Amino acid sequence: MEYEYIFEDVKLKPSNAPKFILNGEEVDIWSEDLAHYHSKSISDYIKENLLRIEAKGIDPFGEIVGKVIEKEMVKTALLSGSNILFKGKKGYGKTTFSKSISKLLPEKILAIRGCKIHDDPTQPVCFSCKKKVLEEEKIELIFIPRKWIRIPGDPMMTTRQLIGGISIQKIREGYDLDHPEVFTPGRVLKAHRGIAYFDELGSIPSALQTLLHELFEERQITTPEGDIVPMRIDTLVIASTNPANYKGVSDIKEPLLDRMEQIDIGPPETVEEEIEIGLRNMALKNGPIIPDWHLRILANAVRCMRSRSCRYANRIEVEPSCRATIKLFDHVRASAIRRRHEAVMISDYGENFELVKLALRSRFEVDYENEVSKDEIVEGVISDSIDSVCSSIYSAIPRNLFGEIIEEIAERKVVNAYSADGTLRGFASSLCRGKEELKSAVEITLEAIARCSGLIERSGDGIYVYKAYDRQT
């Protein structure tokens, strides 16, 4: 066959290399300015950057909240040149972790212009680039940005979609090496010189998993015609999967599993981490303040639904993830924007907690909804969470101030959180981080007194009525 060298490894040195052109000018790619941008493996780039960042005392995965042990395992796996499998329930940061790892790649690297998989100019993989560097006098180069290619698990995925189309027979028939019938890269090959992120690896058909093993382990591809083609793809494989007992989860073939380091990713360990994740990932980055008490009410409600101590634990089959917390924060802020609140109020939860239900309904599953509905569970859990936060606020009110507050409320009969003053306002201000939170602080103090003492009750948006005995009789 005319192009026998396509089956061979090609590696260039200064002594046997063609001229390289970058931005219209001839360049020496082995010079100090350009040597960093080629000839290194993805693993080497990651190792160098990881060690450099850690030497500065910087967390290389600063986007990830908490997960101290998991970060250490990831760093160890990367330094040992291992592929990684993140295992955990949906919504706990598996994809975010993989994107964070991609930032250890160089911001840009040199590639052969026009290459479908962005080949390294000194060690090309694709047929066309091998031909170019061995036969042409000048090779045009470009800089390409770091690559993170998401490959979603799909039971209906085809070989052409995943691996691509490669045909030696078409070359024998005289097709040009660049012809789509000869070489069309699939998603995996497009991840060459970057990160291939397999989102739900187990959902990829078993037969295709076998092809992946051949590509990553043997560095070759068997074509539909039976030809074995060397394909030394340079990529870091990061995959994710849900627990084995999770709905819709398929098995990962053992040969693939054996070549990955499994790292379990669970929910945030503390409510503070849950809140931080929610705030970082909100769609509404700006707007009315969400005071700490409302952050805790909403985050604790979600965390309760994951706990075996939740009174609905035996009914919840699929627990809500951090995405539920994120959307709860978004929804209450959106409501506060519409109502022109400076800070979130209880009314921003919606009448009968409708906006809380909006954030949670699609993010958890129950076993027998005819016995207890999702809405009933949400109402119960959010009410319990409000009780818990209000209890801590109630216990923080000094006894002498509590007496004064009740005296003032008793005289007025009705108190409006939006215009309250006196001792109530004074205590509420101690809860605030800024003046914008004051009305919300007054309201949560009144709610705490209502829930924990029964001396007052809520009768409307920010309105509380004194209902104890008539002190005049």
Q: Where are the domains of the chain?
A: 4-264, 271-393, 397-466
User: How far from 64 is each of 13, 61, 101, 325, 367, CA to CA, in Å?
Assistant: 41, 6, 10, 16, 32
Task: Please give the pLDDT value at position 381.
Answer: 97
Q: Under CATH, domain 271-393 is a member of which superfamily?
A: Magnesium chelatase subunit I, C-Terminal domain (1.10.8.80)
Q: Is the pLDDT of residue 253 over 70?
A: yes
Q: Is the pLDDT of residue 197 over 70?
A: yes
Instruction: Look at residue 72 and give its three-state secondary structure.
Output: helix
Q: What is the CA radius of gyration of the chain?
A: 30
Query: Which stretch of 84-88, 112-116, 160-164, 416-420 has the lowest confidence by average pLDDT?
Result: 160-164
271-393 and 4-264 share a CATH fold: no
Q: Are 134 and 18 in contact (CB under 8 A)?
A: no
Which amino acid is residue 201, in one-letter code? L
Put simply, whether the predicted model's pTM sits higher than 0.85 gets the answer: yes
Q: Is the pLDDT of residue 2 over 70?
A: no
Task: Please give the pLDDT value at position 469.
Answer: 55
Q: How far apart are CA 439 and CA 423, in angstroms?
A: 14
Q: Is the pLDDT of residue 182 over 80?
A: no
- pLDDT tens readout for residues 76-128: 999 999 999 999 998 899 999 999 999 999 999 999 999 999 999 999 998 88
Q: Is the pLDDT of residue 44 over 80?
A: yes
Instruction: Look at 258 and 226; give whichever has higher pLDDT.
Output: 258
Task: Please give the pLDDT value at position 220.
Answer: 78
Q: Is the pLDDT of residue 151 over 70?
A: yes
Query: Which stretch of 3-7, 117-121, 142-146, 236-240 has the lowest confidence by average pLDDT?
Result: 3-7
Task: Please give the pLDDT value at position 104.
Answer: 97
Q: Could you tell me the pLDDT band of residue 408, with boundaries at 50, 70 and 90? A: very high
Torsion of the alpha carbons at 384, 387, 389 and 392, rounded to the nearest 10: -140
Residues 6+ positions from 40 with CB-CB distance below 8 Å: none
> What's the length of the chain?
473
Q: Could you tell me the pLDDT band of residue 472, with boundaries at 50, 70 and 90? A: very low
- pLDDT tens readout for residues 259-279: 899 999 999 999 999 999 999
Tokens representing residue 11 in the block: 């590696």
Question: Which fold is adopted by the domain 4-264?
Answer: Rossmann fold (3.40.50)
Q: Could you tell me the pLDDT band of residue 457, with boundaries at 50, 70 and 90? A: very high
- pLDDT tens readout for residues 269-314: 999 999 999 999 999 999 999 999 999 999 999 999 999 988 888 8
Q: How far apart are CA 376 and CA 381, in angstroms?
A: 9
Cα atoms in the 13 Å half-sphere on the side-chain side of 170: 16
Mean pLDDT within 381-405:
96
Residues 6+ positions from 373 with CB-CB distance below 8 Å: 366
